[in-house]
Structures are given as structure tokens and as C-alpha cells.
Structure 1
Amino acid sequence: MSPSRLCSYLRSNVNGALRQFPQFSVFLNLTIDINGVDYIPDVCVYPKMSINYAEPDEIRMTDLPVMAVEIVSPTQTIQEVLDTFQNYFQAGIRSCWLLVPQTTTITVYTAPGQGQIFKTGDVVEPVLDIRVPLDQIFA
């Protein structure tokens, strides 16, 4: 599925907002392997990694991120994303963000079915201690 214009724009904004935290490494469209199934979150957040360009590149990550961000696109439903979040949490991902461009909202999930919706102010992620202004993402 091809990313939409809004999804691509928001992916870039989320990347910029999360890169300000030096304790994390942020990746876009990285393939992660969960029990032999490939997933490609819009944004993945890992504990800080060192990058060595001389080492062989990885096509599929088996080490899972601590956080995954999904942006609802015109070709998917919110329920599809929530079903994916269920798989993420079962595999050990600690936090999932759901961005809905049409409502300019972000829901931060810290467990399946346990989400907090942000429409104004700062987006607060309590597990990883992340706080970013919502208007920085929906700029």
C-alpha cells in the first residue's frame, strides 16, 4: 500500500518531534519481524542505537522497538490498526501511538484498550516519558 500525502507528511513530523530525545533512535518504515510475520510501522522508536555504516544492513528487524506509531491512511480502518497494536503489545512493544489525520488526534496506548486521546496541548507518553506538543506534529 502506498502512503498518502498526509501520512507521509505526518510521518516526517513525528520523526522530527521524536528525534529530539537523545535516548532514542527513530526509524521510518522499518520492517519488524514478529513471530515470522512482517510489520512495517510508520515510525519505530528504539533505545539509542549506534549506527555502523560498515556493517551489513538489516532488511528485517527481529529486535522490536519500544514504541510504534501508526498513521491511519485512506486505505485502512482504525480497527485494522488496533488489531495490529494487539499483536505489537503481545510481542512486547511497550507503547503504540495512533494518529488520525482527519481529526488531528493522537491516541497513546500503553496496553491494549488503554489509550488516552490528545486533541490539544502536549502528547504525553508515560511509559517512555515522552512529551511533545501536538501542534508540532500537526503543524
Structure 2
Amino acid sequence: METAYHDLIEEYHSEDIMSVNHSKLIHRLSVALDRYDNQYDILPELELELSTGKCKPDVSIFNNLDVDWLNDVIFYSQPPIIAVEILSPRQALTELTDKAYKQYFPAGVQSVWLVIPVLQNVYILLPDGSKQIFADGVLEDPVTGFELDLNYVFK
């Protein structure tokens, strides 16, 4: 017999369930990237409606956007420069790689970061199929030149 908790969990997609580590990583990534705030907007959990469909990266990075406090946007239609996805505890890695190659890159995203909490590493995927793996030290994004201290992110 399934518990009420299990029934509740089954109602959500695996990427919709937020864990403590997942939430902590979104926060730390946002804080670590804040030093680029003058040139880029670092937007966690922004709903996107791209040419390839709806999605919600854990963190989206855009060139600075115009601010219109009177007219907010629920589903933003322009692709971010970078989409950051954090692997959830019950999520298959192929869900994230499929999202990168079938949804993000065809819509114009230039770099996708896949954060694997349990291994404490980050994969940077690029539209040409190349990838870089960072396990410690400083991640450097080849598109923007962003530097990210992984020792801080995974402390």
C-alpha cells in the first residue's frame, strides 16, 4: 500500500521537487555569480517559453534585461546565454542532457551547465557537442568568461 506522501510525490515531475542541497546550490550559484551583476542578470527559477517549448532552468543568465516594474513577464520568450540545471535526487541525467540538446541549444542557449551535487562537479555543454568537466577549483565558462569558485559552491 502506498502512503499519502508517496501519492503526493507522484503528482510532481522529478524536476519540480526541490531538495535541501538543490535549493542550497541555487542560492550559492546566484551569490557566486553576483559579481557579474553589472553586465548580466542572474535569474533563478525563471519560467521560459522558448521556441522549443516551456522550461524552467534552475538559473538563467542573460545580458542585462530592461527593467519594467509595471509590466512583469511570467513566461520569458528569449533564450538565456547560459542555462544552469542542477540534477535533482530522483532525476535521470538524461533528462538534463536531452533538455540541453533538444530544447536549450536549438532555441539559442549558448552554454548549459549541468551541476551534479552528489559528485560535486559541473559539466559545461556547448551546442557543438563539446563538453568540459569541472570537479574542483575554478570553473571558467568558455562563452562568457565567467569564473566560478566550485570550492565555495560545494562547501
TM range (shorter): over 0.9
Does the 8 A contact of 1:72 with 1:98 survive in 2? Answer: yes
Measured in 2, the distance between the counterparts of 1:36 and 1:118 equals 28
Does residue 1:110 correspond to 2:126, yes or no? yes
Question: Which amino acid counterpart does residue 56 of structure 2 have in structure 1?
Answer: I
- Structure 2 stretches lacking a partner, 5+ long: 1-15
- TM-fit CA distance, 1:45: 0.2
What do the CA deviations read for 1:83-111 (whole angstroms, capped 9, x no partner)? 00011011100010000000000111122
Aligned to 2:35, the other structure's residue is in SS state: coil
Larger proportion of strand: 1
Measured in 2, the distance between the counterparts of 1:128 and 1:102 equals 26
2:44 — aligned with what? 28
Q: Which of 87, 94, 115 is the matching residue for 1:72? A: 87
Does residue 1:135 correspond to 2:145, yes or no? no
Measured in 2, the distance between the counterparts of 1:71 and 1:112 equals 21
Q: Trace 1:51-70 onto structure 2 (pairs within 5 A).
A: 51-53=67-69, 55-70=70-85
Question: Which amino acid counterpart does residue 29 of structure 2 have in structure 1?
Answer: V
Does the 8 A contact of 1:27 with 1:43 survive in 2? Answer: yes
Give structure 1 regions of 4+ aligned residues with deviation exceeding 4 angstroms. none
1:15 — aligned with what? 30
Measured in 1, the distance between the counterparts of 2:87 and 2:100 equals 13
Aligned to 1:57, the other structure's residue is in SS state: coil
Larger proportion of helix: 2
Does the 8 A contact of 2:140 with 2:148 survive in 1? Answer: yes
- Structure 1 stretches lacking a partner, 5+ long: none
Question: Which amino acid counterpart does residue 45 of structure 2 have in structure 1?
Answer: N
Measured in 1, the distance between the counterparts of 2:52 and 2:61 equals 20
Does the 8 A contact of 1:28 with 1:42 survive in 2? Answer: yes
TM-score, normalised to structure 1's length?
Answer: 0.93
State, as a whole percentage, how many aligned pairs show the same letter.
28
Q: 1:7 to 1:112 in 2, by over 3 A?
A: farther
Does the 8 A contact of 1:23 with 1:48 survive in 2? Answer: yes
